[in-house]
Structure 1
Amino acid sequence: MNPVQGEDIKASLNEKGGFQVWWRLLRPHTLTAAFVPVFIGTMLGVLDGGFHAGLFLAMLTASILIQIATNMFNEYYDYVRGLDNENSVGIGGTIVRDGISPKTVLALALSLFGAAILLGIYISVTTSWWVAAIGAISMLFGYLYTGGPYPIAYTPFGELAAGFFMGTIIIGISYFIQTLTIHGGVIWISIPVAIFVGAILLANNIRDLDGDKENGRKTIAILLGKQGAIRFLGALFTTAYLLTLIYIIIGLLPLLSFLAFLSIKKAVPAVKGFIGKSQPIEMMPAMKATAQTNTIYGFLLGVSLLLQIYLPI
């Protein structure tokens, strides 16, 4: 790979210098995966009569900081292992295209983890130290996702881990700190959200399938093959929407939660956008549509729970 190709990638992705270098390092398009579960978990708590603004803001900020730090660990360790180069698509490119020191990226990630820990202490002091224990485990998995000797991202379990910790666990904690209790309904409602979070990672792995395969990864997209992975992505979306429908029918979610089905408008092109594409940069719109599906679904589901307080149906 030569520098000219790297510059071509920068031009194709419209990557600019200055502040945008650091903005790309955050991978802002992934941050909705941190916002959505906190929002939904909190709204479930509000629906059950509990709300503490300070705890909500602390939980939201901590989740976003952990997501950003995880992105930075990903950027650092993929570079260290030689998986990213100046032509890699879907990364911040801060190290391989913008020349930022890898040690700087690692230091920033650790600093953000430190800030999240301080917020976690505040949440734990206010609620329960069980939150600290669960939060510590979640942060450890955030690091092990691409760090450590056996990165989870290089295995078939990346989607499962991301969905569980960024979906079910965050929703559960967000609900618990508002109500100081937890029940099965919260866990069931978290499953479609976990599926959508996992779908974001699956879309990422479909896009990077060829490069990941060359570098020895064993993601579920590689094991299923491209066509199988695309079908699996469609099956995940279908399952998430079917569960949402069932929850509405049995009364676990309010009728207003039908609003979340408006996100199907993005889910369809998210799946179709991968068909017939061979270059990672060609699959970027499908990857974006997958993330937008999660954002729209999660936001509308949370709004439907909030509206249920004022418009009980």
Structure 2
Amino acid sequence: MATVAQWVQGARPRTLPNAVAPVLVGTGAAIGTGAVRPGFALLALLVAVAMVIGVNYANDYSDGTRGTDDDRVGPLRLVGSGVAAPSAVRTMAFGWLGLAMLAGVVLVALSGTWWLLIVGAVCVLGAWFYTGGKHPYGYLGLGEVAVFLFFGPVAVLGTAYVQSGPPGALSLIGAIGVGMLSCSVLVANNLRDIESDEEVGKRTLAVLLGDRDTRRLYAALVGIPMLLSVVGAIANPWLLLGLIAAPLAYSPVRRVLNGVRGRDLIAVLGSSGAVMLVWSLGTAVGLALALLD
């Protein structure tokens, strides 16, 4: 039977920046219009956090029951390591995804944006079928596409929309940047697991691209958001605040391009999450300060 500490490990806390970052940027965009609604922002954060934890447990269950996690470097896999029964992990996944759905329904009801229920349903299905079902899209090289969409445009623009209505063009720049940085975390994770994934037939984008091109992709996913800060500054100079993340980005990009592998990539995962959070915070403040112009 898994301990509380092992359940916490299984939730993969290092991935929680993926939940916080889009809500930061979306709320910053809402503040910039003068129409921020803090309660809605907190509900959006609850949806995002519950969704991330739910998908992590769902991946643990699906990969574990397939045998994909039997020989894997990185955080504890509850099913793959045998410390928790598959049924218990599946129940935990359903519980967190259910919490995300409940919070989402409350947010939609209070904001009156009923069409977002369809978006929410697609997100939950995307969370489960990432590694679940007979033909998981995460095994077909489409994981990064889903992460970009769900944690970029969907989460950022959705957070902004429920608070202030249709978001502007600069919000889209923020959404693209968050989506790319969120992808960088997944790419670093899949770069670490190329060999083990290839052995079990899990064809992630990293497996399809190969080691060298995956490293180049990682560098692009981290670097382009910095360029977006400069481009966005043409309309709103405050967006240059996103560049406070640039010094933090140097080390993980250099390490990845220099060929770090295996367990050493675990540190890159943490650094990538930190870059995403700092860039998102700087960008959120920049979007919020648009109210002063």
Instruction: Please give the TM-score of this superposition, normalised by the length of structure 1.
Output: 0.87
Deviation per CA, 1:132-167, whole angstroms, max 9, x where unpaired?
A: 111111111111111112212212221111011111
Q: Distance in 2 between matches of 1:120 and 1:181?
A: 18
Aligned position for 2:185: 200
The aligned amino acid for 1:97 is: S
Structure 2 matches for 1:120-159, cutoff 5 A? 120-127=104-111, 128-159=113-144
The 4+ residue runs of structure 1 with deviation greater than 3 A are 182-185, 306-309
Matched, 1:109 2:93: yes
Aligned position for 2:284: 302
Q: Larger relative CO (CA 8 A, sep 6+): 1 or 2?
A: 2
Matched, 1:188 2:170: no
The percentage of counterpart residues that share the same residue type is: 27
Deviating more after overlay: 168-177 vs 123-132 = 123-132
Structure 2 matches for 1:1-313, cutoff 5 A? 18-85=3-70, 87-97=71-81, 99-127=83-111, 128-249=113-234, 251=235, 254-274=236-256, 275-278=258-261, 280-309=262-291, 312=292
Q: Distance in 1 between matches of 2:282 and 2:173?
A: 17
Q: Distance in 2 between matches of 1:42 and 1:161?
A: 22
Structure 1 residue ranges without an equivalent (≥5): 1-16
Q: What's the CA shift for 1:276? A: 3.2
Structure 2 residue ranges without an equivalent (≥5): none
Instruction: Please give the TM-score of this superposition, normalised by the length of structure 2.
Output: 0.93
Q: What's the RMSD between the two structures over aligned residues?
A: 1.8
Q: Secondary structure at the match of 2:61?
A: helix
Deviation per CA, 1:236-291, whole angstroms, max 9, x where unpaired?
A: 22222212211112x0xx3222222121222222122233334x212212222222
Q: What's the CA shift for 1:201? A: 0.8
Aligned position for 1:7: none
Q: Distance in 2 between matches of 1:179 and 1:262?
A: 27
